[in-house]
Structure 1
Amino acid sequence: MAKTKTAKRGALKSPSFLFLQVKTNVSSKLYNYSMLRYNILILLICLMAETKAQHPPLFEGLVSDTTRITMNNLGLNLVRYTYRAPKVRFLVIHDDEDTGVKAALEYIRFSGGTLIDCQYGGIRNFKINNQGESFQTDPNSIYTKAGIPIGIQKYGPVDDDVVKQLERTAKTILKLYNPEQLGYIFTLHNNTDGDFGISSYLKGYELEAAADSVHINFSMDPDDLIFVTDAKLFSGFKKENVNVVLQSAKAPDDGSLSIYAMYNKIPYINVEVQHGHFDENLRLIEIAIKVLFQAYPLLKQKAAE
């Protein structure tokens, strides 16, 4: 018993043990502090990486700037690429559709122009958390007041706060793209083989209500097409003998950018091709610019100024 007590008292009073204990505590604190600094550094690097463009500049002289939008947990970067005089302005609104981005950058490399690319993690839908619940919608369903709740409702319940955030996001995108100043909207979309194509707009098919007229070139891949809201543009593309759809004036309001364009009487072009059809994407872009400026010569004159 005495040895046990002596051993305890000796352990408590031992200077070497106290020094070791203090040293250990200090080392532990230093380690925790170092780990804290390390974790903060990693977090900052991740945040910086998140704000970087997913499609970095591919050629000398291409410049970019980013407008950041935050919708609760979702960060959206509107990355604007510009090269030389901005003769044409493209818009990509789905972040999982990169063939259009690459084709637009290739066009810009030789002819000049601007591309606004919506980047939010390489996925199709906006996914927003609000008050413990998760909501999602297609980014191409946020451009009309009536269409926003319809778009959300496809995936679940509607939340008023999420609706307001999506309204603000649409306004920011439109302000940056500025279709009123341009006089047109030129979007780029990609689709999956067999899931969607020119036949989707024929009578008896899913999107027949959205179409007024359809012209088909049967030598083209049915997944590659152009969608317009303007009869003059439709006529021009028909003469070029490419797959083209003219939106119906009675098309249901799904919140899409083409509906917004129709309501605001802005000529709208969507070049839509299958993922990976880069050459066809570029060819249709070139045809679309030709048809746009032929139908509206003043737009070509404005672009040259």
Structure 2
Amino acid sequence: MLKMLLISFLLCMLHLPGYISMAGVVTGSERYAGNERTYHYTLGQRSVPLKVTAYGNRKDVVMISLHDDETTGVEAARAVLERTGGILLSIGNNNQRNITFTQRGITYRFDPNRMFTKTGIKATLQEYSKQSTKSAINAIHGFSNFVLNQVPSGAVVLIALHNNDDAGFSALTYMKGGECEKDAAAVHQSDTRDPDNFFLTTDKLFFRKVRTSGYNAILQHHKAKDDGSLSVFYGKKNRRYVNIEAETANVAEQKEMIETAVSFIREAKGRSRKAARRQMDKTI
């Protein structure tokens, strides 16, 4: 009888949050330590680092930070990934937004979130360098492929992390009369949340989820202007993408938004985009 009671007690303990099982797996409140590896890409005369940090072995949750001066998103992402597991990719650029490199005696500067199509690369080079040569375009395009190749094939949704300044780029930018009005297929403006904090997505199902949850949300138009951004690249490929945009220093809000995106990954895993479209076409 005593032996049976002991076994029952141990079985109950296995279900308590944070209890370590005999297999060494922490249930409920496990924390994953980040295992960071840094890869380098030679861009002209410069070596640009890309940090890939794995939290556990989970590869369906993948986040990316392209602008090294936007640290709020990275801080919030790390706090979530330590609990959920997943992968964080981040470009190292000395805490600067735009990347500068020298090739054949010419110095170029570009926005790393405008490098995923050649049209976008040419435009960002013209904006920041006042010139765009074929060799520079090809070099940056090679770098963008290098970054994309680090995204695991098992990623259900790619989550991009961005930050903005108060009253600058926001959900209002996509509203009627806004600069990016034509890039939005649908817009939801929250009555209670700061428009600086919003989701931009290529996925109808996710748009509905965050809309009904009361967040500011933008569904990107499938014919959005080709600015070379990661959202446009994923939209053209008909792949799931979520940009989580939050005001600088608003870690708590961005963390909450990231948690919402991660919960969607569990819901979306294994469901095809075609099935999602059939479900959502009647609701948007």
TM bracket (short chain): 0.7 to 0.9
CA positional deviation for 1:130: 2.5
Picking from 49, 54, 61, the partner of 1:82 is 54
Deviations 1:79-117 (A, max 9, x none): 111122325111111111111111111111122221111
For residues 198 and 149 of structure 1, the distance between their equivalents in structure 2, rounded to whole angstroms, comes to 27
For residues 220 and 162 of structure 2, the distance between their equivalents in structure 1, rounded to whole angstroms, comes to 16
Name the structure 1 match of 2:77: 104
Name the structure 1 match of 2:195: 222
Asked whether 1:115 is paired with 2:88, we answer yes
Q: Which stretch of the first structure deviates more once superposed, 273-282 or 147-156?
A: 147-156
Name the structure 2 match of 1:158: 132
Deviations 1:189-235 (A, max 9, x none): 11111111110111211111211111011211111011001212111
Which residues in structure 2 correspond to 1:154-303 (within 5 Å)?
154-155=127-128, 156-178=130-152, 180-298=153-271
For residues 75 and 95 of structure 1, the distance between their equivalents in structure 2, rounded to whole angstroms, comes to 15
Secondary structure of the structure 2 residue equivalent to 1:188: strand
Residues 196, 242 of structure 1: CA spacing in aligned structure 2 closer, same or farther, 3 A cutoff? Answer: same
Name the structure 2 match of 1:72: 44
For residues 112 and 295 of structure 1, the distance between their equivalents in structure 2, rounded to whole angstroms, comes to 17
Name the structure 2 match of 1:95: 68
For residues 63 and 78 of structure 1, the distance between their equivalents in structure 2, rounded to whole angstroms, comes to 14
Secondary structure of the structure 1 residue equivalent to 2:186: strand
Contact 2:156 2:268 in 1 (8 A): no
Contact 1:230 1:268 in 2 (8 A): yes
TM-score of the two chains, using structure 1 as the length reference: 0.75
Which residues in structure 2 correspond to 1:118-157 (within 5 Å)?
118-155=91-128, 156-157=130-131
Residues 74, 221 of structure 1: CA spacing in aligned structure 2 closer, same or farther, 3 A cutoff? Answer: farther
Residues 89, 230 of structure 1: CA spacing in aligned structure 2 closer, same or farther, 3 A cutoff? Answer: same
Residue identity matched to 1:61: A
Secondary structure of the structure 2 residue equivalent to 1:287: helix
Contact 1:233 1:292 in 2 (8 A): no
For residues 95 and 109 of structure 1, the distance between their equivalents in structure 2, rounded to whole angstroms, comes to 20
Residues 80, 282 of structure 1: CA spacing in aligned structure 2 closer, same or farther, 3 A cutoff? Answer: same
For residues 265 and 66 of structure 1, the distance between their equivalents in structure 2, rounded to whole angstroms, comes to 29
Question: Could you say what the CA RMSD is over the residues aligned between the two structures, in angstroms?
Answer: 1.7
CA positional deviation for 1:160: 1.3
Give the % identical residues: 29
Residue identity matched to 1:81: T
Secondary structure of the structure 1 residue equivalent to 2:37: strand
Gaps of at least 5 residues in structure 2 are 1-30, 273-284
For residues 124 and 154 of structure 2, the distance between their equivalents in structure 1, rounded to whole angstroms, comes to 28
Secondary structure of the structure 1 residue equivalent to 2:214: coil
Gaps of at least 5 residues in structure 1 are 1-58, 300-305
CA positional deviation for 1:163: 0.6
CA positional deviation for 1:161: 1.2
Contact 2:222 2:236 in 1 (8 A): no
TM-score of the two chains, using structure 2 as the length reference: 0.80
Contact 2:185 2:220 in 1 (8 A): yes
